[in-house]
Amino acid sequence: MRAADIADQLSTVLVTEEQIHAKLDEIAARVAADYAGKDLLLIGVLKGAVMVMADFSRALPETVPMDWMAVSSYGAATKSSGVVQIRKDLDTDLHGKHVLIVEDIIDSGLTLSWLLENFASRGAESIEVFALLRKPDAAKVHVDCKYIGFDIPNEFVVGYGLDYAEGYRNLRDVAVLAPHVYS
């Protein structure tokens, strides 16, 4: 589904599918160079990072193992509560691994800050972050992020894995959800 198919539910398209794929290719090339010869593990944050992880991992030139963690700080709301709940923990031991957290979006930074502390306590050799999207104006805590796809305004966005009440994840573009949809 493209943004044009549901234009009456969206305010603005921020990033197209084509722009996303070009950025994923660019960042995958940087990651491949930065981690050459290292034991890299991709960790995706469910559910939003599914699309990013799938396309990003396919853009990498070598096989890379991946694991998933499900955490929540939103529920069905449009703003983070700041309270992180683990819904699914990792299956992989992080000891000695070079971890790259693959995120769909950094909003307040609270969930990601918590994840970084949690993973550091598990003995990872290194931990870096790749976020496709970042909302600088929404940050409540500073999070070091080595790889950023796009900075976007502090609006409620959907698409490319991002949802509103479990809908819109399959939208191929990233767009601002019209307020009449969630008001």
- Among the options 55, 107, 163, 173, which is catalytic? 107
> What's the rounded Cα separation, in Å, for the pair 152 and 34?
26
> What's the rounded Cα separation, in Å, for the pair 137 and 152?
9
Copy the structure tokens of residue 65.
Answer: 């193992």
To the query of whether residue 144 is one of the catalytic residues in this protein, the response is no
The dihedral of CA 169, 119, 31, 176: what is its sign?
Answer: positive
The dihedral of CA 76, 82, 83, 84: what is its sign?
Answer: positive
Active-site residues: which are they?
107
